[in-house]
Each structure stands twice: as C-alpha cells, then as structure tokens.
Amino acid sequence: MLGPNKYVQRMSVTAPSGESCILTFTMTATAAQPEPGTAAGAVAAASIPADQAATSPLPPPEPVWRLSSVRGEPQFGVGGAQPVGPSPELSPEQIVEAQLAALQRKDVSAAFQFLSPGSQKIIGDERQFAENMSRHRRYGGLLGHIAATSVRRCMARPSTYMEIVSVTSASGIRFVFCYILGHENGMWSIDFVKVIDDPRLVAAVDSSCAAQRKARPAEEH
C-alpha cells in the first residue's frame, strides 16, 4: 500500500509452459457516487431518513479501486548469464541477485556497477569500494559468501524497493542486510545496503529462513 489511494503488488507468475515472469499490478482508488438505480445507489439512498431525503446530500462517496496498469519483467534468476549493470529490462530483484552473485565470486568491480550514481559518488571509485568491503567485518562477509537467502521483498514506494537478505559468510557467520534500491532514468540500482542489528528483526529472519528450509523438501516432492 503506497497511500490511501494507491496500491502496488509484484507477483512471480509461472505459466503452464514453464515460462516465468514478474508482474507489477498498480491500482488506484477514486471516489465515486453510487449510480441511481443500482444496488449501491439503493443502499446509499436507504441510509438517508425519508424526511431528510430532499435536503440531505448523499453520503460521502466510497473509494472505488481500479487496475490502472500491469507491467511485465523477466523473472529474476532465469538464464545463465548474469547482467553486468543496471538496465531498463532488469527488475529490482535481478539487480540484488546480480550484485550478490558478483560478491560471491569476489568480483568487486562488477558489484560496484550495480550501485546508483549517487551511491558511487559517495563511495568514490571501485578501489575505495573494495577497501570499504575488506575493512568492514560484516560487509566483508558478502565477499565469497556461501549462501544468500531472500527473506522479504517489498515496494516501499513506486520508486523505492527494499529486500532483506540473510547471508552466510565464507567462515559460516550469518549476517542480515537490507538492500534499498531506487528507480532513476528508467532503471533500478542500489542506493544503500544496511546491516540489520535489531535482535527482534534478526530473530524474525531466522524464523523465516527456517520456514523456507522446512518447506523446500515438500516443494521438491
């Protein structure tokens, strides 16, 4: 929900043929008076006492939700080749996945390409990005990590995407990160990657990962 009058939902869809994609549904709410002669109009009219019908206005209009657009994107994780940087064809999920893949193979230069221009300007260049990664124990855990599990994805605003990822470092230590992406010039890119320290959030991530592991064998059968 992006406000009282706008709702966005992204869904992963797989056709019977096996083809997959991401669909983004955008809905908007507009106020509409019930039309006379319809069931809604009869209900609205009945809510006004008979002795006030001539002078009382109709009740405030109820919002009517309508589908305003549907946008399709390639399914994240599909295809052998990883993207080399942001492009209009890539979904935010693909951007996160591609940077994680680059960091797993310790390709810091490739990972740097998925940062937004603003983030790159703050960090500096690829060398400084690599130094920052190596100096920080938790961010350094992304380099050569064993596994990364997406725990939660959401659209905070039409141009802001957030994803919580649980990462197991090469040494077996687990860290939790929140990816925040922005949409600029028709492309998604990474604005921030924040470490999650709140014990309650970490515990919730643990529970979610455990549930995913438990459900996986059932899905395979």
Q: For residue 178, what are the contacts with CB-CB under 8 A and spacing of at least 6?
A: 162, 163, 164, 165, 192, 193, 194, 196
Q: For residue 154, what are the β-bridge partners? A: 162
More confident residue, 63 or 53: 63
Q: Distances in Å between the alpha carbon of 110 and those of 98, 103, 142? A: 9, 8, 14
Residue 131, phi then psi, degrees to nearest 5: -65, -40
Q: Topology of 84-220 in CATH?
A: Nuclear Transport Factor 2; Chain: A, (3.10.450)
* pLDDT for position 8: 74
Question: Does the pLDDT of residue 29 top 70, yes or no?
Answer: yes
Res. 110 pLDDT band, cuts 50 70 90: very high
Question: Does the pLDDT of residue 76 top 50, yes or no?
Answer: yes
Parallel, antiparallel, or unpaired: how do β-strands 20-32 and 62-74 relate?
Answer: antiparallel
Question: Does the pLDDT of residue 145 top 90, yes or no?
Answer: yes
Domain layout of the chain by residue ranges: 6-71, 84-220
Q: Could you give the percent of the chain with pLDDT greater than 70? A: 71
